[in-house]
Structure 1
């Protein structure tokens, strides 16, 4: 736990009906400025709730959600009852609006990590009047160039792992050949298989590639394949990435609504999975935003997490001043 901050404790939680037979899990703790945390993936879920420690719960009412189809939300992606075709970024944004109204929140601070940064930016662009400020770590916009980088180009740094990743898709009978199609589209097709064994094998191949490249400079080591979380995550990642995150225009093509919203962008120089150029472009397109580049870390790490915590504290100071404009 970060020194000086109170221990995490969920005070309320529930399942919110978001339509089409889908329910979204939410939880909250603390009091003060409403703050919404958006996890990565897509499909990573809230996990053990460590995100709460990035906030002073005497100043923030911290709200977290397991996005549609993952974590404790029901039914999970891959389940026949899950509406995967209806799982899109506009639907996630609509889910968050339903939750905001359900919880009686007028406007909130957004926090997002990795994919959660994309979702936070997309939500803010759709509903800028509901956003008090934004803090993002491991910044993504999930545009096609970023997806092609993380699924193919960065294979130049991990050729052995990428060869196994591509060979699995080539041998899976979906018509994929390296250099002749997008590997993310091949895996998206494989992860829609109704055959549990085929789905599991594709999820294992996908997550093995994720683990190969994501850890550099992050100060963490990914554990073994999780048979509950990882198939859901692989299904949702490939679903979103093969559809350009269901964002048209993309995030960087509509930054004007963020004008006047305070924001902090935190990124690692060593993030080979998501190079810092994305955070730089978001920063350059968002007047008034602050960019913090941690030179010694990658897609996360203790220095970045500390910067995240400090950014929320500074934002609380700014928003609770008597003369605060928002």
Structure 2
């Protein structure tokens, strides 16, 4: 049954740090090779963690969401992100290719079915994957809901969130000449796809810093500092922008909501922070209304704890 309002008595602590017992690289196409790792209980219930961005890559902190005694924890870096190669590559990089990669990884690891866990863009990909392969999913945990609709992109990149973070918005805005400010996503795409590397890096830093500055309810220097890491910024900004320019490669704006009937039988928890600026509450609320059978949990804040933003 769907819960109502704020969930008051929920354990928001994370599990202890652990190391992988297995790491590897899986060649998924002539161009792309993805990094994966396994940790926790090798004989436990498989769970796959789908990171955010797209382009954010995974982090060791992502393992801490899961009880290592119960779960076989599987993380992987999506095409062009993290340790996957080639770095920041946009060629053959679409939602549907990522779904194929998840299936190739599942087969490679000899997993018959698994729990799917994703936040932010990871929630988008979790829904898209589950709607494509509902028979492979034992359950869904979705946090910080992002449905990749135009109104969500416009909210964050075309001036809506600027009303809350004007100080962080101005450097993002000011990189673009006034004549090109009709669509910031397109203006940044032009620069992130430039043949000049410094133009790419300048745009990538500005794009990433804007998102990292808004990722916490209170300022977080560690997250904001990721905007100074050129390697991270290039993959994060280029891949994210590439997906947004192409509308997630979905055939319609409401594709994920329109296909919920395929997965409504799957046990699902939706976790949303009311004051999440990157993934505003309206998206989780729309998903909740379309899927009242899912367990909906709202928190006063952004997600569950500051550490949860790692690998946004």
TM-score (norm 2): 0.87
Question: Where does residue 6 of structure 2 map in the other structure?
Answer: none
- Quickly say closer, same or farther: Cα 1:54–1:158, change in 2 above 3 A: closer
Counterparts of 2:306 and 2:243, CA distance in 1: 29
1:55 aligns to 2:66 (yes or no):
yes
Counting matched residue pairs gives 290
Counterparts of 2:211 and 2:13, CA distance in 1: 32
Question: Where does residue 263 of structure 2 map in the other structure?
Answer: 258
Q: Is the partner of 1:248 in helix, strand or coil?
A: coil
- Quickly say closer, same or farther: Cα 1:275–1:40, change in 2 above 3 A: same
Q: Is the partner of 1:19 in helix, strand or coil?
A: coil
1:246 aligns to 2:249 (yes or no):
yes
- Quickly say closer, same or farther: Cα 1:96–1:128, change in 2 above 3 A: same
Counterparts of 2:20 and 2:154, CA distance in 1: 38
Contact 1:217–1:301 (CA under 8 A) maintained in structure 2: no
1:230 aligned to 227, 230, 233, which one?
A: 233
Contact 1:294–1:303 (CA under 8 A) maintained in structure 2: no
Question: Where does residue 9 of structure 2 map in the other structure?
Answer: none
Question: Where does residue 67 of structure 1 map in the other structure?
Answer: 78
Q: Indicate the structure whose relative CO is greater, using CA pairs within 8 Å and at least 6 residues apart.
A: 2
Contact 2:213–2:219 (CA under 8 A) maintained in structure 1: no
> What CA RMSD, in Å, does the superposition of the two structures yield over aligned residues?
2.1
Deviates more, 1:219-228 or 1:240-249: 219-228
Counterparts of 2:215 and 2:68, CA distance in 1: 30
How many Å apart are 1:301 and its aligned residue?
A: 4.0
Deviates more, 1:20-29 or 1:87-96: 20-29
C-alpha offsets along residues 193-247 of structure 1, whole Å, 9 cap, x if unaligned?
1211111111112122223322225877524211221111011111111111111
Where does structure 1 differ by over 3 angstroms across 4 or more consecutive aligned residues?
Answer: 2-7, 217-221
1:208 aligns to 2:220 (yes or no):
no
How many Å apart are 1:167 and its aligned residue?
A: 2.6
C-alpha offsets along residues 14-49 of structure 1, whole Å, 9 cap, x if unaligned?
1101103210101012231110001111111112x1
Stretches of structure 2 lacking an aligned partner (at least 5 in a row): 1-11
Stretches of structure 1 lacking an aligned partner (at least 5 in a row): 306-326
1:13 aligns to 2:13 (yes or no):
no
Question: Where does residue 309 of structure 1 map in the other structure?
Answer: none
How many Å apart are 1:253 and its aligned residue?
A: 2.1
Question: Where does residue 283 of structure 2 map in the other structure?
Answer: 278
